[in-house]
Structure 1
Amino acid sequence: MASEPISSNTLSNIVVADFGRVLAAPYATMLLADLGADVIKVERPGSGDDTRMWGPPFAGADATYFLSVNRNKRSIVLDLRDPDDQRCARELVRRADVVVENFRPATMAEFGLSYEQARKINPRVIYCSISAFGSGDGAALPGYDLLVQAVGGLMSITGPHSGAPTKTGVAVVDVLAGLHATVGVLAALRHRDVTGEGQRVEVNLLSSLLSSMVNQSAGYALAGAVPGILGNRHPSIAPYEIFAAADRPLALAVGNNRQFAALCRGIGAEELAVDERFTDNTDRVAHVDELAARLGAVFATQTATHWCDLLTPLGVPCGPVNDMAGAFDLAARLGLRPRPELVTDGQSWATVANPIDLSQSPPRYRNAPPALGADSADIRAWLGTPKNEGDPR
């Protein structure tokens, strides 16, 4: 699809050279693209980004995995081992405000595109590197999201019961690293606005995960507490788990004593609110098995919808366990527009909404994710590095 002109937006004067692949880096650059940046995605000849072939599911001929993190970008095909294409890549770096890459550390240096090499070409460049385990002693270690979930402790607290460590249903560590990378890039751009200086931004999956486990990682760092698997329960709050209603699972998230009193009133079990085992959150956590048994017996008598209709007006946080269709339906009913439908070049396409809402410069969905190399000719012309006659790239 042809690219539309970039509309005025928060980052509309920013050019991003995106050397990222798979998830963490492409997610970060998509967020920048949503905010108006001109993101130029550099892909290898032949198959391009690995995720172009990661299906099913597919939308037409396109893997939805690739489509999920590459909207609003342009694509150029470059063989970074080819001297002519390296020259083109260096010219792109020279013109870019931001470079994002998630190759294994030292790989970009092989192409003449390391941070040290890039800053000589472009002293104002913001150069963001995303790795699994950092650029120090862990630089040589390969890493995918599943591995980092395992070695980073997330699987040790996730699963149905002790002895059954389980990954999350999405590559959440990659997403978290991409979010941290985006924040780092925006901070570096602000620093450059003030000082004129470019700098390197480094984000790794392991550190992103440790930071994002918040209360669990802080419990170890500050108190030496090593948490274990609690299934759907919370280590510090009760009742905060899943109960079996008469028709389907029901999530209940009671965060304070007022909500607990309202819960007891709503289900006709006022005696629980004055039971000394349950009067305070600390007591409820200490006696969570007994409390869960009492509540479970009540919830099993009616449908999840019955309990939600009863408890939600009382200020008790609860809801059914939705599948993806139910989740999108809920967001739509709440007016959140979770699935924008746009038309580009006469073709309709859908995407998942960017969750950032800005009153003056909101995210925009300009273009569908690009076909492999769709913008190579235009980008090469802009860079002044047209391909040689007969060159198939």
Structure 2
Amino acid sequence: MKDRNHLAKVGLIHQVKIVENGLIDIPMLQVLRPDGSVHQEAELPDINEPLCLKILQTMQYIRLLDERMVAAQRQGRISFYLACTGEEASTVGSAAALEPQDMIMSQYREQGALAFRGFTSKEFMDQMFSNQNELNKGRQMPIHYGSKALNFMTISSPLGTQIPQASGYSYGQKMAGLNAVTICYFGEGAASEGDFHAGLNMAAVLNCPVIFFCRNNGYAISTPSEEQFAGDGIASRGLGYGVRTIRVDGNDVLAVYAATEQARKIAIEQQCPVLIEAMTYRLAAHSTSDDPTGYRSKDEEERWRLKDPLQRFKNWLDSKGWLDQEHNLNFIEQTRQDILKELKLAEQVPICPVEQIIEDVYDTPPWHLKAQLVDLKKHIEKYPEAYPKTSGRL
């Protein structure tokens, strides 16, 4: 993908420029320059100081959480983690433009959206340590969050599963006459899955009030975007399916907020899908199992660090007189201590009794699951050292 700084008013892409080889050139919505100044032609969204500070603090919280949990994985305290460093504006800015009744269907790098809705450090830690306090009884991998109270659908590992599910769920919202949308997050790599095409076509044909939010962060694990597709990103696919489409600078939190606010308005009023492609960059590794030095250069990473969404937003807030530097430093230090405290507490909480593993699927566990549970208990008794009694160090 080219690194563009095109400007567009908040709205739908309906005119594109045909360039060489018959390809299209799609403009990108941007409000803030990388240094935090406002583009002369840009329109600021209608957003107040308290909301801006909540967005900033959520972005800072997630960066601190990511740093702590990557370190915890390296220490052997959890098995796996996915950081969203560099993509905080995409996830937090979009979540801030939603309403509490809107359903969020996540891929696995949207912890910022969940934190914005009120997921606590304790809840994050209970999930990642799979202990008995975890909302899903410790049955998921780390970072596979879910919260019924916060309208955040539990994450699945396979890529793209949530895309057709979002079309179906939003169709149900439409049939029920709800004033709500579903937002579905995924990366540009997941847009190569068949579920993407099925989900978008279904939503377009049935006029489902769903926002498809693609985080185009440049890489599908180690595969760069130019090796994934020949067209102009993911936005062009939305146009192909007849879906209203917006491309936005994913490192510009004000632009992301404005784009999502507009997308929600269109989805509600016109009862139709909208695709947002957020152009961003994954500064972190794909996961704690990945080494990005094998497929990208330090120079490339440093160029994108100059577009850091956190620093860009802080500079704008400072220019508005909305950022109290001392208070912000105190918030960061207190948050760092809170995260570490909850981590230490969560790793000492016991895991759920093994008997619960066959519950909540059928009203009464059938015979074959009961038989499998007997076999599992025998296996654990044979290899007790491999199955700790708590969710602590692995």
TM score, norm. by length of structure 1: 0.30
Higher helix share: 2
Higher-RCO chain (CA-CA 8 Å, sequence separation at least 6): 2
TM score, norm. by length of structure 2: 0.29
Tell which structure's C-alpha radius of gyration is larger.
Answer: 1
Higher strand share: 1
